[in-house]
Amino acid sequence: MLKQPMPESHTWRAMDAVRSLFQASIPSSGFLWAKSNPHSQCKGCGEICELLRWGEVQRRRDSAYHGSSPPRMVHRSYLDLDLCAGVSGCDTCRVLRRAFLLEQITGQDAERLEHPNNQFPIHAVLSLGSSGDSRLLLAIESPRDVLFSATIHLSNEPRPLPHSLTKGAPSLRSDLSELRRVVDDCHRNHECSSRYRWSRRNPTWLLKILPDDFVQLVEGPPTPVDYVVLSYSWGNPTTMPVDEWARIKGAGTKTIKGRPVPERLNPFRVRELPETMQDAIMVSASLGFFYIWIDNVCIPKGTNWDTEASLMHEVYGNSAFTLVASSSGKATDHLLHDRLAWTHRSKACQLRELWWLHNAQMPLDRVRFESPVSRRAWTLQEERLSPRVVYWAGQRWYWSCPECQVAEMGEPERISPTADDTTSRSCPQRFLELCRTGDEHQLHEEWLDIVEAYTRRDLVAPKDRFLAIAGLAVRFYNAKAANGGTAVTEDYLAGLWKDNFARHLAWSVVSALDSRQNLQHIAPSWSWASLPLQVHTQTKAPFKPSEHFKFIAVEHTGPAHASSKEDVTRTETGDPLTDYVNRGRAVEERGRGVKVIQVQGRLRRFIPENAQGVSWDAIEWRRGGRLSFDFGAFSGQPIYARNKADGRITSKDAHGGEVVGQLDYVVPSEDKPRDRFTPYVQEGREKEIVCLELGELAMLLLVPNRKWGQPESYRRVGVAIGYANRKGFFYGCETKTVRLA
């Protein structure tokens, strides 16, 4: 029977691997610092040399010159580059090839580089910075879009190169010994455990890793054990075959009379679980950890999901570390992939005797915010509640703890674990650090950052809108409670916090949304949780609270959470630590059911009664990149205008400045004027908008809530922030108590 021929690119890669093995067997003390072989260059190297020559000319003319060269094509395609790096042994092409691969976060991203549909010319641009820094910017461009990009740093001096992955030939698989050293160093020499471990309790259920590729679901032992937590993306059920989604869901542990089924309580084979879980189990065992917590397996079906969700701060806070599956797009993807960036040994590369080429390390933030796992709502608290995190990307892993960040084959970056330092660096553990230090102002700002990150993410079940951040809310409240003090004024209100309520109310959408996807059946209009999923919000505009605004009371909660303040204390047992934990859980559970509140503040119309409506195009003024307003055609007239595309709305008195607001929703094409309870402002009803002062330059935009049929009852439709042209907008206005629903 005839066998299928090996693809040409794979053939050349195999030949190159054999040659690398041969070269590795020859002693060479200066191997890592060897210059690029001038004979191992190609036409693409010549094109890059032309770019460098252009840069030298600019620097001679002006040593502070900054700008970019015209682009030059260096290769006809990625496969052409790959072939040149492997067969010709071109050192420059090896650096270029590695640059593209290191930019790919998932294993599938690296494979996409080789796909026949992605074979387009590679262009390079030389970018010169005013501070003397220089970079080569690479791009693979189709006729319609940039498919892949990469960056190579240039310097006049060589830099240390990463050591080989193994002592022998280059490996396409991970060498976990370096990661094991990093993990052990943290546990032995850092204060992460003593400072950030929440308690000595294990999760209710853990997966025990047994020999011979078996695992077993066991109850959490009574004494603390070291366990790993897996943070991963289940995937989007709408974009995968039905049977594949069924396999992911089917990995969940079933129960009989409240107990896991015998098939899970007895040892079972690892291969019965989806691929991401299989590989996570292998990594954990290879690092010397024999317990792992995976949500789908360790929260048996029929378990009280609300209770388990509020305990997530313990599950993640007490773990040895959290393993984030950044290289997987869905649970059926492998976590471990051939790391093609390291096919060839690292070697210093120099061109024109002046320029050394260096591969850049992808910043940890890019891995955090661009990997598929970052699009899943549940994984936000998994990251923010974990003192130690391993991000497993397609080409390398990254470690982050409050004291150190390390990229595989990179130098450790030591971090001073003080609150002041957390404000100037991006660190997944910033929330935990602020909870520990008790900086109230920074803690509230961090919550607003959490809201921005959370609203961008997706949920398979929108009903879990509050559950997916319940652990963060419990941890926030317990930080404010300060060891169970009796004078705690903080309260959780549908995703917002009472002690800084005006600030938390002042969130806005970047652009008005389609109202048909709203979640006002889950959360009140004044809460960001009522917005559709996957929405960009803004929460951190400059804010100074108004002395006239005051939170009064919670007036109504949903049927499932209709408890009163007294109910929160019924969970107290007399043990200070237990009561401290239970109080936070009770406050969070009650808070997610809040529907109607009473607040006090200055109230007035947003649009004057006698204002004339005009088109947005009649007042918007554009000059180049500037955007402003021109009211010259309406001098001495009160007017208002509404941008139907993005939801901006402006109101201007006859002789005063304008106020520009942002509505939450646009008017849908099938607007029904008789529907009086829509979340958007219907066309022709703009004059119904009233505004409630939150801060010196911040207001809520409200409309009467006829659904309640009570006086001074409103629902939110937008916000206005930063109206510097009308600082006296609320002067002389009456202070009223109003209901917000």
* C-alpha–C-alpha distance, residues 515 and 538, integer Å: 18
Closest Cα to residue 482, out of 381, 586, 583, 588?
Answer: 583
Q: What is the mean pLDDT of residues 486-505?
A: 91
| Residue 627, Cβ density class (10 Å: 0-12 exposed, 13-18 middle, ≥19 buried) | exposed
Strand, coil or helix: 509: strand
Residues 85 and 204 in one domain: no
Instruction: Say which amino acid occupies 106.
Output: T
Is there a single domain that holds both residue 598 and residue 533? yes
119 and 256 share a domain?
no
**pLDDT score recorded for residue 162:** 63
Examine the domain organization and report whether 434 and 509 are in the same domain.
no
Q: Are 740 and 526 in contact (CB under 8 A)?
A: yes
Q: Which helix (H) or strand (E) holds 12?
A: helix 8-24
368 with 381, same domain: the answer is: yes
Examine residue 537 and state whether it is found in any structural domain, yes or no: yes
User: Tokens representing 663?
Assistant: 């509505």
Confidence of residue 15 (pLDDT cuts 50, 70, 90): very low
Tens digits of per-residue pLDDT, 263-282? 999 999 999 999 999 999 99
- Over residues 604-615, mean pLDDT: 95
Q: Which of 483, 499, 518 is the last residue of a domain?
A: 483
| pLDDT value, residue 335 | 94
Using the predicted structure, report yes or no on whether residue 36 has a pLDDT greater than 50: no
Average pLDDT on 204-215 reads 97
Residue 584 lies in a domain: no
The answer to whether residue 152 scores a pLDDT higher than 80 is yes
The Cα angle at residue 445 between residues 398 and 511, in degrees rounded to 5: 90
CA-CA-CA-CA torsion for 276, 278, 284, 287, nearest 10 degrees? -110
Q: Are 308 and 429 within one domain? A: yes
At residue 621, φ and ψ (nearest 5 deg) are -125, 125
In this structure, the answer to whether residues 37 and 89 fall within a common structural domain is yes
Q: Residue 2 pLDDT more than 70?
A: no
Which letter, b or e, does each residue of 63-78 get, where b requires 16 or more Cβ atoms within 10 Å of its Cβ?
Answer: eeeeeebebbebbebb
Please report which confidence band the pLDDT of residue 614 belongs to, taking 50, 70 and 90 as the band edges.
very high
Report the C-alpha gap between 589 and 571 in whole angstroms. 12
pLDDT-above-70 percentage for the chain: 85
Backbone angles phi, psi at 661, to 5 degrees: -110, 165
Q: Is the pLDDT of residue 193 over 80?
A: no
Whether residues 445 and 456 share a domain: the answer is yes
Q: Residue 204 — left, alpha, or beta (φ > 0 → left; ψ -120 to 50 → alpha)? A: alpha
Calculate the alpha carbon distances from 631 to 627, 657, 683, 722, 727 in Å: 13, 10, 22, 19, 19
User: Could you read off the pLDDT of 426-441 as tens digits, one per residue?
Assistant: 689 999 999 988 888 9
Higher pLDDT, 41 or 253: 253
Residue 734: both structure tokens together: 């009456």
Please, what is the angle between helix 440-455 and helix 470-481, to 10°? 170
Residue 121 and residue 83 share a domain: yes
Judgement on whether residues 647 and 664 belong to the same structural domain of the protein: yes
Q: Which amino acid is at 378?
A: W
pLDDT of residue 6: 45
Query: Letter for the amino acid at 268?
Result: F
Q: Does position 708 have pLDDT exceeding 60, yes or no?
A: no
The separation between CA 401 and the C-alpha centre of its own chain, rounded to angstroms, equals 17
Report how far residue 315's alpha carbon sits from residue 386's, in angstroms, rounded to the nearest whole number. 9
Q: At what angle do helices 430-437 and 470-481 cross, to 10 degrees?
A: 20
Quick one: which of 688, 689, 685, 699 has its CA closest to 729?
A: 699
**Do 355 and 407 share a domain, yes or no?**
no
75 in any annotated domain: yes
Residue 725 has pLDDT above 80, yes or no: yes
254 part of a folded domain: yes
User: Phi/psi of residue 7, each to 5°?
Assistant: -55, 145
What phi, psi does 607 have (nearest 5°)? Answer: -115, 130
549-601: pLDDT as tens digits: 999 999 988 765 544 444 444 455 555 555 666 788 899 999 999 999 999 99
pLDDT in tens, 339-350: 899 888 778 899
DSSP 415-463: ----HHHHTTS--TTHHHHHHHHT-HHHHHHHHHHHHHHHHTSB-SSGG
- pLDDT bracket for residue 302 (50, 70, 90): confident
- What tokens appear for 596 in the block? 């109607």
Residue the block writes with tokens 């809201």? 451
Nearest to 214 by CA among 289, 293, 267: 267
pLDDT at 305 over 80: no
Average pLDDT over residues 506-526: 95
Token match 């030298």: residue?
56
How many CA atoms, within 13 angstroms, populate the side-chain half-sphere of residue 223? 0
pLDDT value of residue 310: 77
End-to-end CA distance of the chain: 73
Confidence class for position 311, pLDDT limits 50, 70, 90? confident
Tell me, yes or no, whether 577 lies in a domain: no
Q: pTM of the entire structure?
A: 0.86
720 membership: H or E segment, kind and range? strand 713-721
Burial state string for 708-731 with b = 16 or more CB within 10 A and e = fewer than 16: eeeeebbbbbbbbbebeebeebbe
Name the pairing type of β-strands 321-324 and 389-392: parallel
| Strand extents, DSSP E, 550-607 | 550-557, 594-605
Domain assignment present for 545: yes
The pLDDT confidence band at residue 681, using thresholds 50, 70 and 90, is very high
Q: Of 694, 685, 700, which is closest to residue 546 (Cα–Cα)?
A: 694
Cβ-in-10-Å burial (0-12, 13-18, 19+) of 454 comes to buried
Stronger pLDDT, 30 or 594, i.e. the higher one: 594
Half-sphere exposure at residue 512, Cβ-oriented, CA atoms within 13 angstroms:
23
Q: What is the mean pLDDT of residues 73-91?
A: 93
Domain assignment present for residue 272? The answer is yes
The pLDDT assigned to 191 comes to 87
Query: Residue 104 sits in which domain range?
Result: 32-167+340-361
What does the pLDDT read at residue 459? 93
What is the dihedral sign for C-alpha 613, 618, 621, 624? positive
Average pLDDT along the chain: 86
In terms of Cβ atoms closer than 10 Å to its own Cβ (0-12, 13-18, 19+), residue 138 is: buried
Spatial separation of the C-alpha atoms in residues 409 and 277, rounded to whole Å:
25
Condensed to tens digits (0 to 9), the pLDDT of residues 624-676 reads 777 889 998 998 999 999 999 999 999 999 888 899 999 999 999 877 655 55
SS3 27: coil
pLDDT, position 423: 39
Q: Are 395 and 339 in contact (CB under 8 A)?
A: yes
Residue matched to tokens 């797009």? 329
pLDDT digits (tens, 9 = 90+) for 98-114: 999 999 999 999 999 99
Q: Say how many domains are in the chain.
A: 3
Strand partners, 714: 704, 740
> What's the one-letter identity of residue 654?
A
Read off the pLDDT band of 32 (50, 70, 90): very low
Q: Flag whether 454 is in a domain.
A: yes
Residue-level pLDDT at 172 = 57
Euclidean distance between CA atoms 290 and 678, whole angstroms: 53
No. of helices (H) and no. of strands (E), the chain: 22, 35
Cβ within 8 Å of residue 145, ≥6 positions away: none
DSSP state of 487: -
Helix-strand-coil percent breakdown of the chain, rounded to 5?
35, 25, 45
Whether residues 356 and 463 fall in one domain: no
Cα–Cα distance for residue pair 288/240, rounded to 1 Å: 34
Give 399's DSSP letter.
E
- Which range, of 160-164, 460-464, 539-543, averages the lowest pLDDT? 160-164
Rounded CA gap, 8 and 223, in Å?
A: 56
| Model pLDDT, residue 180 | 93
Please name the helix (run of DSSP H) or strand (run of DSSP E) that holds residue 349, with its range, or none.
strand 349-351
Poorest-pLDDT segment among 419-423, 516-520, 560-564, 568-572: 419-423
Task: List the Cα angle 192/194/197 in 5-degree steps.
Answer: 80
